[in-house]
Structure 1
């Protein structure tokens, strides 16, 4: 589970919007043909309607979710180990139950391990709590910050899956103070839609803030004024870039 420090706390919640990857162990209740089971499991890739389990923190009503991919890793007797990539808010335990229902075999989840959140994977130098404790020890006792620097990731990496807008230097300080971004301040951008969360960057690639799109990016062509992004959470401190004073 990703943890955040200091000003990155303002952005960490956006990881919940990113997709997830899990490795799950499913136990099938009846004997089955492996090839037929694989075929039926792959039918769950794509859009699905899922009813949250009884013990959940959301209202129990059917919700559309996306299963991006599903790979069977191993089958041993009645146990099936598989990797699955899903949209945020997808319940793997319920997915396995639904697979058992559809196949008529019955199934339940035995083990579950999350291997990816948004663009963060186990291969990105993520640490266990013991690894973090060791890194802090080396820093405090020996002044060695290399283990700690491997454990702590830049917040830009955690939220890199979101669309981005790069703003001019003159707009940075005002955004650091919570101002929205108007058309003249936008230098370049990735496509985004009205209401989407957008990352706001300097031209040097430094994250400034996170905001919500006030328009579709396709609307930027042909307009010279108006609000593009409404700033929500500011990451960069004011004063790093020069304050802009509009001349009369």
Structure 2
């Protein structure tokens, strides 16, 4: 199921509110797909920049045209002794490095996603992108499959990582399965499946909806007095409190209700960026 298909299912189950998802999953992947409803859609883009965590199954001994199990075979090699060489190979992928995005991706070239060129048999030159892998651990390994825990920066392609690991080992490799377990502070253990939602009535489903500011939990926050809170909701900058935070911040009123997203500038002013239409229940109220 595509990310958009999952989004439309959720919209239908919640009687079609405005909705958006915070980070596309490949159709063959599973795991965490944050869905933002109503006012929360204003902040759906923020988790896209957060670090992601995946469990990836890499099948060694076969490289494919797509970098995953859906593609045609390109190269096969012996996997004998790969387990002994794997830890040293993975060490070369930890930290920052340049990664070339795969042709089978949604990145656009001249207005068209790359996968459309790939399906037509065309190759497009892609500029490498700087990515950062913070954690790359072996969870399990068998004769041909290795399961990895990957925590990485935005824009990291796990199918490319799987392919490149196979290249370094000399045997070829592709991504056989992928599960996203975490985006920033959002964890798959706190999620609910589509099947579970479908089995509930509307009031039961609503209990699984989290406050809108949860997707911003990694950002610092500022509390505002009533006059300042009213001003920022109208889009007017205000003088910030004495709290020493700067940059992008979450805003709350004196009751702990969520107001929106702002930037605190070098002069200490709080400049509204994306504001709620009214104060909302905030996650700080239910801690």
Residues 1:166 and 2:166 aligned together = no
Partner of 1:181: 238
Partner of 1:24: 56
Residues 1:233 and 2:274 aligned together = yes
Deviations 1:32-63 (A, max 9, x none): 33132023113312112111112331562111
Deviation at 1:211, TM superposition (A): 2.3
Q: Secondary structure at the match of 1:54?
A: coil
Structure 1 gap segments, 5+ residues each = 140-144, 216-225, 239-248
Determine which of 90, 110, 122 is the counterpart of 1:41.
Answer: 90
Partner of 1:72: 138
Partner of 1:112: 178
226-235 or 169-178: bigger deviation: 226-235
Q: Is the 8 A contact 2:40 2:213 kept in 1?
A: no
Structure 2 gap segments, 5+ residues each = 1-32, 62-77, 110-125, 280-287
Partner of 1:155: 212
Deviation at 1:25, TM superposition (A): 0.7
Partner of 1:245: none
Q: Is the 8 A contact 1:200 1:208 kept in 2?
A: yes
- Normalised TM-score (structure 2): 0.68
51-60 or 126-135: bigger deviation: 51-60
- Normalised TM-score (structure 1): 0.78
Deviation at 1:150, TM superposition (A): 4.1
Change (3 A) 1:163 1:40: same
Change (3 A) 1:98 1:5: same
Runs of 4+ in structure 1 over 4 Å off: none
RMSD over aligned CA atoms reads 2.2
Residues 1:100 and 2:166 aligned together = yes
CA distance in 1 between counterparts of 2:214 and 2:192 reads 15
